[in-house]
Structure 1
């Protein structure tokens, strides 16, 4: 067992605390990872606010890059000293989705069996099965994806969640490609990931939609060819005007509220595709005329983690970053110490940062 410092959410809406946590030695199939960097994601804030579950206390953080410190019995794919990015959908290989060759939809993803705890023995619920706002964390070994150790941890760790979700929503779920038009509603970390993914895929027209001029400026840096300020313009009309009156081939909702989803639905071309990658809250409801759903054809999809396969996608995207084709460094607004996570949440809510990253 190891004692480390970690960021814990103790109750709904309460400021997070930096406190001592106990990390067990790895058991069978598990690994302890020494965290080098962990991005501050909206999902962590959702955990703090009780938007995911009420299983407090939470050990927050999940966009992790670090080095494997030790592995448990039976672990063969990673070893102590490996540089890894952690993933929160370690596929099982044996559920009905995996058996059908669709492991990105795995129904039985794996996490560590042993709990990390507070000093009094209270078990912690690690965010997305990771708990990366800590000097070390315990995960299932399948959550460790080896990438090029030359990569900077604060940059490549963002592949662990938001950036991968965005890129995958465009490329894996949406199937964006050369000649397409793509509109992205919401230009935070996930939305700009989608824009970067569309640009990487050779999309000819990328339309960024947001209400914040600063976020639209960010979108241009990631490859947006056109921007729409939704405060000043009707989103559906603006997207149609930019696509010869037709609507975009692919519209990605990176916000995840009924208003933006409805906009995405009507801003797409006939038989176009809508991808929902923004995460709705449990109380949200959507109402659409069923005749419109039928008459417009196409596809309405949800994107879980960008439908990624970490062992395939993380090394590939790291290599594309090294080649200068994927500007992952542009997502990092600031690097902060562990004690500044609560302040990073405030900056996130104010729209002042694209990503704060805890650097150890």
Structure 2
């Protein structure tokens, strides 16, 4: 099989490797789609430490092609989203059967169970309630997922902020009650005008930037909740902690390392996706062959007009 290996800055190599043999509790999955995640961007930009190499890729969907001796929960031919922590930019992955979830009948290359799980868990941890006023800062892939999932919980307002026109148009098409171009309008002013001058009950930070993190404190009501969904890489971030203390914000770190939590998020997310309640088709906008994986990461870095999510795709055989 072929697999992408990162040995230097912004430069993958495609190598041949043996097809993995599934252990007794594993299945072999032929990969159809593998998402390019912002959490891997910094590693691609800088490269691994000298003398080391990386085989990234963790947002995998595909078809079960072989079963380990003890597996009874899946069958050959099942279409699944899976959880792996590496080696996902490859033609095959071996993965525990317990980490595979049915994805329904739609296109497989959009059934990215791992990032959907992150968004499900973020919205559940933030505990959006009926009638809440919700702000989502950042209308990229994760922001779009959070927006849709929060809307399923019955809020009064879902206000989405971004600086990109195409991103705001997409958020509006996905059902945002108000979009805010932060280059033209004051987000805190808009939020106050829509919330009887109270501020949002919950603000989701979905960009991983200092500016968005700072804005959370200006949009959230006293004793409201701030959920950090964005992946913060690079330089340290700062917040006005004395003010945040005084405002009694409830801070939610919407990143999860407990495997059981991740698995539940994947199960819930794929259930919603398969039922048509969380459509992902319009969010996967850029598809690349494995040989063009560096171009996929460059698209994530540059975010060309209309960009939401890049996926490495492999031939799907029915």
Same fold (TM over 0.5): yes
The 8 Å contact of residues 253 and 274 in structure 1, kept in 2 or not, is answered as yes
Equivalent residues of 2:10, 2:294 under 8 A apart: no
With structure 1 as the length reference, what TM-score do the two structures score?
0.77
SS in 2 for 1:166: helix
Partner of 1:333: 285
CA distance in 2, matches of 1:185, 1:195: 10
The structure 1 segments of at least 4 consecutive aligned residues displaced by more than 6 Å after TM superposition are: 51-55
Equivalent position of 1:83 in the other structure? 79
Which deviates further from its counterpart, 49-58 or 267-276?
Answer: 49-58
Counterparts in 2 of 1:42 and 1:181: CA distance versus 1, 3 Å: same
Distance 2:231 2:47 in 1: 10
Q: Structure 2: where are the runs of 5+ without partners?
A: none
1:130-170, CA deviations, whole angstroms, 9 ceiling, x for partnerless residues? 3221110233443323343x2321122x2222x33234322
Determine whether 1:131 maps to 2:127. Answer: no
Q: Could you tell me which residue of structure 1 aligns to residue 186 of structure 2?
A: 234
Query: In structure 1, what is the equivalent of residue 131 of structure 2?
Result: 179
Q: 1:291-331 deviations in whole A, cap 9, x for unaligned? A: x2332124101112598845544454444334443221121
Residues 167, 194 of structure 1: 8 Å contact kept:
yes
Aligned to 1:358: 312
Checking the alignment, whether the CA contact within 8 Å between 1:130 and 1:139 is kept in structure 2 is no
Where does residue 198 of structure 1 map in the other structure? 150
Deviation at 1:53, TM superposition (A): 7.8
With the length of structure 2 as denominator, give the TM-score of the two structures: 0.86
Closer, same or farther: CA 264–57 of 1 in aligned 2, 3 Å: same
Written as runs of structure 1 = structure 2, the 5 A alignment for 1:1-360 is 4-11=1-8, 13-50=9-46, 56-88=52-84, 129-148=85-104, 150-156=105-111, 158-161=112-115, 163-170=116-123, 172-281=124-233, 283-290=235-242, 292-305=243-256, 309=261, 311-352=263-304, 353-360=307-314
Instruction: State the distance in 1 between where 2:48 and 2:188 align.
Output: 31
CA contact (8 A) 1:35 1:136 kept: yes
**Deviation, structure 1 residue 245:** 1.7
Equivalenced residues, count = 311
Structure 1 residue matching 2:18: 3-state secondary structure: strand
Q: Is the 8 A contact 1:147 1:314 kept in 2?
A: no
- Distance in 2 separating the partners of 1:306 and 1:220: 32
In the alignment, the residues of structure 1 paired with residue 190 and residue 212 of structure 2 have an alpha-carbon distance, to the nearest angstrom, of: 14
